[in-house]
Amino acid sequence: MLKRLLLSFTALYTVFSMGFSQSIILSGEFRPRTEYAHGFKTLASKDQNSGFFTTQRSRINLSYSGLKSKSYISVQDVRTWGNQVQLVENEDRAISIHEAWFMPQLDKKGLWALKIGRQELVYDDHRILGNVGWAQAARSHDAVLLKYMPNDKSKLDIALAYNQDFARLNSNLYTTANYKTMQMLWYHSSVDKFNYSLLFMNLGFQVSGKDSLNKDIQDTKFNQTLGTHFDYSHNKFTLTGNIFYQLGKQASLVEKDISAYLLGLEAQYSVLTNHKLSLGYELQSGNSQKEASDKNKAFNPYYGTNHKFNGTMDYFYVGNHINSVGLQDIYAKWNAKLKKFNLGADLHLFSAAADILNPANADVASKNLGTELDIYLDFSFSENVKCLIGYSQMLATESMQYLKGGKYDETQNWAFIMLTYNPVFFKHETIKN
């Protein structure tokens, strides 16, 4: 029976593939990661035990590219080893759809396209919008994306999203921890050795509760992020920058305006053939603990791949440090691409962007939060099997303890080893002559 189905599929595919170019690729990803943690994301307390666990992401991906259309589906399972019994009969949400979209071409020249469905939104260096690929689940959006590419040097994307918990017939109440509505415009252009992007994103978050008369309140508060990402390259030198500003309303029943910003600049220089050195500074504004303000001044890098920035121990903006004192990050990075492996080290000097108070006496504390060292090594066993190993150490200050709790003078470290296997199960291409 199976043989007949395969033969039937092959025959149908042969018939429909005649006359035009198309490509079908069935691939996978298996990514187990073992981690040791003692003070990861927040300071360890006195006599705290260490964590040790293995998580795994497993994906099956199917892509299709044909006559004036593309489509893609990615099914994934994310789990911690041992989180279910071995003789499991049923498991809620064991399998999820990470991506499922189709993209028809809208004109004969292929300048316009419409991407519809669950999809990753990844732009520039992932600072504001990224797929958070380090996280085993990763991030995707349910959206419609209009794409316009008039030439090789210019691109325009417009995204629209409107979310519901389920198909409500008499209400627009939305209780999932996500934005209710999103509109995004991204424009990119290149001029010689200079590339720049302009981004505008409008987010609407639904808030609900009771007023002073105990009446139900349901409202949508909107905030906007706008700014630019740019990079300039000349010979062995590269300069990269981010400038973003946020305004609008805070997502709360209390009426409060937002006025926040992010500034970042990084210089990279290639030493010899295989070595790169980088120096950078990033400032994200924050709220002072000393002086209350009628505005929320804390920048929120909402949907960026925040693990990529501000240290890999995820002390800042990875599900934490929101509406806090902001951050200043002075960092230096070194990377060497050798024959069989890559080796790198990052050093971060963290400090607050706004005042911190000592909770014991309400005095203003030092803004210095600590120093983090990240070391990593990656290499390949074969063409589609890779290994990444890392170790990080946080040397925190008392001010970090005021923010995070725990004990700043405890050992704060984290280590991991991750294998990634990307097999291609099936690939077929038909090229029209």
In the chain the first and final C-alpha atoms are separated, in Å, by: 36
DSSP 63-128: EEEETTEEEEEEEEEEEETTSS-SS-S--TT-SEEEEEEEEEB-STTS-EEEEEEEE----TTSSS
β pairing state of 257-271 and 295-296: parallel
Q: Is the pLDDT of residue 432 over 70?
A: no
Q: Is the pLDDT of residue 339 over 90?
A: no
More confident residue, 391 or 174: 391
Q: Over 269-334, what HEC string results?
A: EEECCCEEEEEEEEEECCCCCCCCCCEECCCCCCECCHHHCCCCCCCCCCCCCCCCCCEEEEEEEE
Q: Is the pLDDT of residue 208 over 50?
A: yes
Confidence at residue 433, expressed as pLDDT on a 0 to 100 scale: 57
* Residue 252 token pair: 């709360």
- Per-residue pLDDT of 139-170, as tens digits, reads 999 999 999 999 999 999 999 999 999 998 88
- Per-residue pLDDT of 38-79, as tens digits, reads 999 999 999 999 999 999 999 999 999 998 999 999 999 999
* 349 DSSP β-pair partners: 330, 371
Q: How many helices (H) and strands (E) does the chain have?
A: 2, 22
Q: Is the pLDDT of residue 405 over 60?
A: yes
User: How far from 136 is each of 265, 300, 377, CA to CA, in Å?
Assistant: 29, 22, 20
Q: What pTM did the predictor assign?
A: 0.91
Q: Is the pLDDT of residue 320 over 70?
A: yes
Mean pLDDT score, 280-304: 96
More confident residue, 238 or 4: 238
- Contacts with 307 (C-beta within 8 Å, 6 or more apart), sequence order: 132, 134, 135, 314, 318
- Per-residue pLDDT of 2-37, as tens digits, reads 455 445 545 545 544 555 679 999 999 999 999 999
Task: Give the percent of the chain with pLDDT over 70.
Answer: 94
Beta strands in 339-407 (DSSP E): 341-351, 356-357, 364-365, 368-382, 385-396
Burial class (CB in 10 A: 0-12, 13-18, 19+), 86: exposed
Where exactly are the structural domains of the chain? Answer: 21-84+92-430
Which CATH architecture group holds 21-84+92-430? Beta Barrel (2.40)
Confidence at residue 216, expressed as pLDDT on a 0 to 100 scale: 78
Q: State the maximum Cα–Cα separation within the chain, in Å, rounded to a whole number.
A: 79
324 and 353 in contact (C-beta within 8 Å)? no
User: How far from 372 is each of 197, 225, 315, 322, CA to CA, in Å?
Assistant: 30, 29, 10, 20
Mean pLDDT score, 169-179: 90
Angle at 96 between CA 303 and CA 415, to 5 degrees: 60
> Which is nearest to 422 in space by CA: 35, 74, 123, 54?
74
Helix (H) or strand (E) holding 245: strand 237-249
DSSP reduced 3-state for 12: helix
